[in-house]
Amino acid sequence: MCGICGMAGFAGDMREKRNVLIRMQNALEKRGPDDSGIFDHEKNCIMAHRRLAVIDPEKGKQPVTRTYMGEKYTIVYNGELYNTKELRSELLALGAVFETDCDTEVVLWGYILMKEEFLLKCNGIFAFGIWEHMGKRLFLARDRMGVKPLFYAETESGLVFSSDVNSLLENEEVPHETDIKGLSEIILLAPGRTPGYGIFRTVRELKRAEYAVYDRNGLRKTIYWKLKAKPHTDNYVQTAECVRFLVEDAVKRQLVSDVPLGTFLSGGLDSSIISSVAASEYKKQGKVLDTFSLDYKSNDIYFKESRFQPTSDTEYIDVMAEYLGSSSHKTILDTPKLAAALVPAMEARGMAAMGDIDSSMLLFCNDIRRTVTVALSGECSDEIFGGYPWYRDETIRMSEGFPWAQSTSYRQSFLRDELSELINGREYVDSAYRATIEQADKLEGESVTDSRTREMMLLNIDWFMQNLLDRKDRMSMYSSLEVRVPFCDYRIAEYLYNVPWEYKDYRNYEKGLLREAMKGYLPDKILWRKKSPYPKTHNPAYFLAVSKMLRKITDDPSSPLLHIVKKSRLMELLEGSESVQWYGQLMTKPQTIAFFVQLDAWLRRYNVKLKI
The answer to whether residue 349 scores a pLDDT higher than 80 is yes
Distance CA 176, CA 608 (A): 5
Q: Considering the candidates 2, 5, 45, 365, report the single residue annotated as catalytic.
A: 2
Q: What is the pLDDT of residues 495-539, one digit of tens each?
A: 999 999 999 999 999 999 999 999 999 999 999 998 877 777 878
Mean pLDDT for 243-257 is 97
pLDDT band for 305, please (50, 70, 90 cuts): low
pLDDT band for 311, please (50, 70, 90 cuts): low
Which pLDDT value is given to residue 308? 58
Distance CA 336, CA 296 (A): 11
What region does 445 belong to: left with phi over 0, alpha with psi -120 to 50, or beta?
A: left
> CB–CB of 158/11 below 8 Å?
yes
Q: What is the pLDDT of residues 156-205, one digit of tens each?
A: 999 999 999 999 999 999 999 999 999 999 999 999 999 999 999 999 99
Which pLDDT value is given to residue 54? 80
Which pLDDT value is given to residue 310? 60
pLDDT band for 314, please (50, 70, 90 cuts): confident
The answer to whether residue 301 scores a pLDDT higher than 90 is no
> CB–CB of 327/291 below 8 Å?
yes
The mean of the pLDDT values for the chain is: 95
54 — phi, psi (to 5°)?
Answer: -125, -45
C-alpha separations of 82 from 48, 75, 115, 118, 322 in Å: 24, 19, 19, 14, 29
Which pLDDT value is given to residue 145? 98
Q: What is the pLDDT of residues 59-116, one digit of tens each?
A: 778 999 999 999 999 999 999 999 999 999 999 999 999 999 899 999 999 999 999 9
In terms of Cβ atoms closer than 10 Å to its own Cβ (0-12, 13-18, 19+), residue 191 is: buried
Establish whether 380 is a catalytic residue: no
pLDDT band for 332, please (50, 70, 90 cuts): very high
Q: Comparing 393 with 139, which gets the higher pLDDT?
A: 139
Closest CA to 363 of 263, 442, 296: 296
The answer to whether residue 307 scores a pLDDT higher than 80 is no
Q: How far is CA 590 from the centre of its chain?
A: 23
**Which residues share a beta bridge with 415?**
565
Q: How far is CA 342 from the centre of its chain?
A: 18
C-alpha separations of 330 from 242, 340, 342, 370, 389 in Å: 34, 20, 21, 12, 29
**Which residues share a beta bridge with 71?**
68
Which pLDDT value is given to residue 303? 61
pTM score > 0.85 for this model?
Answer: yes
pLDDT > 90: percent of the chain: 89
> CB–CB of 464/404 below 8 Å?
yes
> CB–CB of 396/390 below 8 Å?
yes
C-alpha separations of 223 from 108, 140, 480, 611 in Å: 20, 12, 30, 31
Which pLDDT value is given to residue 284? 96
Mean pLDDT for 272-280 is 98
Distance CA 383, CA 386 (A): 6
Which pLDDT value is given to residue 309? 61
Which pLDDT value is given to residue 536? 78
Distance CA 406, CA 532 (A): 21
DSSP structure class, residue 206: P
Q: What is the pLDDT of residues 205-215, one digit of tens each?
A: 999 999 999 99
The answer to whether residue 608 scores a pLDDT higher than 90 is yes
* Beta strands per DSSP E along 202-279: 203-205, 210-215, 218-223, 261-264
Angle subtended by helix axes 448-459 and 425-437, to nearest 10? 110
Distance CA 378, CA 446 (A): 31
